Structure 1
């Protein structure tokens, strides 16, 4: 009995060590292998479309791949051009209005300074001169230390920012090279995908091959479901914003809604990039009715997304909403705001691994 338990412990440590090794390899090699991973994902995603063109229109495989990749490229270019056209019309309007907005905001700041800051400054100066010389010297010392700290901090931030500019510019050629590699590799991998599958099938044992096929199948379903859910959430946010802006009679509502939908893709920040400065400005210029309206609209968008996200994710990736909500809460506790992005990904992959029976296979191995 003790020998059996010892063998179970050894097998458990083997599994744990293997998983930890895979994790370390993935973390330290991710910056080198992520183009290959993206290539595999893109190839698997466009493969059904390629097969459709092959079977429906009798296209040769290279031509079908070219048509699919070119069609997707033109589709995204068309979407970008539509957004640019609408944004151009909106910015042409804003180019006329912004000087007036800036002038109004400057007048507000001037009035606020004369009404609130200047009297407070005069009171502080009067109080300062009523102190004795030692107290004045102490206060001046504190002020000098504070200003020195602000100056040094600002200088360091500026130097670090300027120092990063060459690094950012150096990334651009590498990014173009990586993008070119991904596109060419996607074409070649999709062209030979069936051969790659056959070679992998011959190399792997039957049981491993079945588990691997199931794993890739569920990962594909989970990834496509996750992307579909995110796009649907962005579409809902854009519709809510457009409807709210039309009700509030805001000009160029479609432009603002499209920009908001685009920035909603940015993790952590999302539509707050647009709404928070806008609300502050409206309050500053005393447009209180529109301030309340935009604030309510922003809160509706945020709350609806937080309520709908677990439900939509669960319906698209096949996980109970409570599990999605729990993993998002745990993700926030572990990684902060980044957990909102990381937790669903781990949930998707974990569910795919579970559906493929990998956990059961590892448990069977440990039990012997």
Structure 2
């Protein structure tokens, strides 16, 4: 009788124990991933880069007869050359645009100052004189109260502007100070990727000697294939979105007969990759400037162009991302919303990435394997 009662109880305790083990392993894995990202991000990037480059290295080594080390060096050299060339092209376009823009800035600033001076004498000065007359008619207590309130608002504004200036200076200082570390990390990434790619066969053999490798090999291989396919779809989707933004802005600027239309459209497409801000970094200051200089037609036209570019991206982004990474548009929107609410701007990237990993784990049957382990069901 006692044995019959202890049997189900023992099973429930084993299920609870296995559930705790699985939960603990997941927590440890997430903690290890967080620690690795914080402390060993360049090495992780090198590992991912070498995994993506291994098929290319194997193809070059097979077709040319080169050793794997030379094939790895050649592949990384080509990749590095392409990256540097793209950066130089972008830098040259930016320098040309900035140089041309700097020639027109003095005249535009002079015109803006003249407009501000005219506006001051035509509108602000009469209003100020009326305000002074009204102020003179108030009692001393009322005048004192207004002065205190005005000084408080002025102090708040000064503190706000001072805080912005301090943050901008701090960000600039951090950026400049991080350049040596960034350069060192970049060199380390390429060197680590070279050695990992060159010795990939030896690394695979050593991994095969581990006791749990045979069990994890098939699901890990399938997971990696799904991850590559999903990453390729995500990159393809971003290229499509950026290209559409660039084409739309370029056509709009050509219609408006704007100088340096291609450079502006190209830069706008690049900043469109920045979550949440996007092309507003370019268009909002530009629209405000046109309004202050009384170019109202261009103000309205740029506002319409900016609004159209934002709306078209918001409409097609979920659809293109869903076709690229295989997720429903509504699910992506929910992930973007909660990611932003919980983690800020970083959540706009982390949210979809978490969804992608959950989807990949589902496709490789990881959740089913974990559940079968918890309930004690043997794999068939």
Q: TM-score, with normalisation over the residues of structure 1?
A: 0.90
CA distance in 2, matches of 1:4, 1:330: 38
Q: CA deviation at 1:278?
A: 0.9
Q: CA deviation at 1:150?
A: 4.1
Q: CA deviation at 1:167?
A: 4.8
- 2:296 aligned with 1:293, yes or no? no
- 2:197 aligned with 1:190, yes or no? yes
CA 1:98–1:167: 2 relative to 1, 3 Å: closer
Q: CA deviation at 1:289?
A: 2.3
Tell me the secondary structure at the aligned position of residue 111 of structure 1: helix
Among candidates 110, 114, 132, match of residue 117 of structure 2: 110
Among candidates 288, 296, 303, match of residue 311 of structure 2: 303
Q: Which has the higher contact order (CA 8 A, sep 6+)?
A: 1
8 Å contact from structure 1 (residues 223, 348) kept in 2: no
8 Å contact from structure 1 (residues 282, 291) kept in 2: yes
8 Å contact from structure 1 (residues 237, 305) kept in 2: yes
Q: Counterpart in 2 of 1:45?
A: 52
Among candidates 243, 246, 249, match of residue 238 of structure 1: 246
CA distance in 1, matches of 2:312, 2:303: 14
CA distance in 2, matches of 1:315, 1:52: 29
Q: Counterpart in 2 of 1:358?
A: 366
- Alignment length (residue pairs): 368
Q: Note the 1:14-163 alignment, pairs <5 A.
A: 14-152=21-159, 154-155=161-162, 158=165
Q: CA deviation at 1:67?
A: 1.7
- 2:54 aligned with 1:9, yes or no? no
8 Å contact from structure 1 (residues 222, 349) kept in 2: no
CA distance in 2, matches of 1:59, 1:78: 26
5+ long unaligned stretches in structure 1? none
Q: CA deviation at 1:28?
A: 3.8
5+ long unaligned stretches in structure 2? 1-7
CA distance in 2, matches of 1:287, 1:154: 28
1:308-362 deviation per Cα after TM superposition (whole angstroms, max 9, x unaligned): 2222222222223332233223334433454332222212222222222212211
Tell me the secondary structure at the aligned position of residue 40 of structure 2: helix
- 2:272 aligned with 1:264, yes or no? yes
The answer to which of 160-169 and 88-97 deviates more is 160-169
CA distance in 2, matches of 1:335, 1:164: 20
Instruction: Tell me how large the CA RMSD over aligned residues is.
Output: 2.4
CA distance in 2, matches of 1:320, 1:151: 47
Tell me the secondary structure at the aligned position of residue 295 of structure 1: helix
Q: CA deviation at 1:273?
A: 0.8
